[in-house]
Each structure stands twice: as C-alpha cells, then as structure tokens.
Structure 1
Amino acid sequence: MRALLQRVSQADVRVGDAMIGECGPGLLILICAMQGDSEAEADQLAAKISKLRIFTDDAGKMNKSVIDIAGSALVVSQFTLAADTSRGNRPGFSYAAPPAEGERLYEYFASALNKLGIPVQTGQFGANMQVSLTNDGPVTIWLDTAS
C-alpha cells in the first residue's frame, strides 16, 4: 500500500456540495492499495502511521505521534498514487489494485487505524472528491509498504 501523509491543522473532503469527512489537528492520509496487497500491508501501514513521530513537542521537535496529540485522521482513497509515468506523458494505473479490492482494503485500513485509537473519517471511494487542507509545517511524508 502507498500513503501520502500530510500533517494538518484541519482538512475536509466534499462530494458535490456535501462535506462527507473532516478532521481537526492530525493527518490527511491519501491511500492507495496496490496489486497484491492484503490486510497484512494495511495493518503494517496503520501501525506505522499511528506511531510516526511527526508532531512537535514543547521544544519544537518532531517527537509526538498522532495518538500522543489526541489527533484525528481523514483517510481519502487516491488510486493515482499508483501512477506509472515511465512511458510517455500519460500515466498508467495498472499497478493499483482492482477497484473492488482497492475499496475493500481502503475500508479495512481506515478501520485498522481507528482500532489503534485514532478517530477516523473518510472520503467516498471512487467519487470525484474535493479535498481541502491546511498543511501544518508543511509536513508531508510518503510511505510505501513495498519499500
């Protein structure tokens, strides 16, 4: 699985005019299930994210996790994280999991993160979503279970 984490002071996701998910201080997590991924990769990624110390302590050092700050997460599916740009100018997405499997693992990942004590809201799989955020720092981290 691939994830792009953004430390945010706030984020929300809309489908049309309806806000369907939001978070306060915490993480916006853009997530993509890749071909061959399973629950094991989702669990591994959720555990890593829950412990990742990218929030500042009183000394201004990145030394706290999202759990330590009692933060929340907004998890948004984004199959374009699987983009293959090695040929030509139009990306291919054949490395992404098939839609039904991608949706299942996306929902499993969000649930796994929630079970670790992080309040989670989500986007809508497969929808045309508008995501707004205030990146805090900015801090943006790329995670890939394959590397």
Structure 2
Amino acid sequence: MPHPLLAPALAACLLVAASGGTSAAVSPEAVGPILVEAIDRADDSCWRDPEKASRYAADRLERNGFDVVREELGEKLSEEGYVLYFGVIAERSGGSCSGTLHIFLSKPTWREGERGEHTVGPDTSRVSAPKSADQHVLGRLRSFIEQL
C-alpha cells in the first residue's frame, strides 16, 4: 500500500523548478528514520526496476549512517522520520525513453495545528535513455544521498 503522502509529495515535487541538488546538509542524527518510496509513472518499460533503485537508495543511506526503515512505521514515521521520495515520469518516443526524475526528502511538520512539509531538495533532472531510466536513477540517487 502506498504511503498516504505519496500523491501530495509527488505533486509538490512537480511544482518545484529544477534544482542542482539538495538545499541543505542533513545529519543522520537530525533526520531520524527514513522510509524510501519509489514512485513509478514511467510507461513502456522506461523504468524497469524501481525495487532495485529502492534497495540501492536504502543501502546508500545506511552506509552514510542514516537509519532506514524497511516498512511503514505509521505514527512513529509520521512524527519522527522522513521519506525519501523519488519518481520517474517518462514515456517511450522514437525508441528511447524521455521524461523527468524527481528526488526529495520530506517530513510532515505541524505548526499551530497546520500541516506542512520540511523538504530537502528537490533534485529534478531530465531523463533521456535509449533503453531505460534505471542507470540515470541510480546515479542521481547516489549524488543526492552523498550531498545530504
């Protein structure tokens, strides 16, 4: 079952202009647990292995000292943790895949009863690949995580 913030998070990411990287350095101690969430909106096998990308991101985060949760933790995650969202929106045209990759780290916040988001990123890039976006996604995930 997708995370309840999945659709709003992807919509928010789509509204933000392209950026060269994360907006601020983040320490594992300050972030708390991170859930990794892949959003696959690629058609015609333009992104063949979102699960591999999720495992890759989780492994990279753990190597950098972050606490990764492998399953939804409900209240604990929504109160204490972040979600690393990344998604590909692409389609095949003329034999190659083209579209957009969005990556960002987000945490729901509450202030005076109003819900908001603390977001690190986004990293938005164009995808153009003859076969699939897989290698592009892995490279951008590596860069994004290394900049945290």
TM-score, scaled relative to structure 1? 0.29
- Which of structures 1 and 2 has the larger relative contact order (alpha carbons within 8 angstroms, sep 6+)? 1
Give the structure with the larger helix fraction. Answer: 2
TM-score, scaled relative to structure 2? 0.29
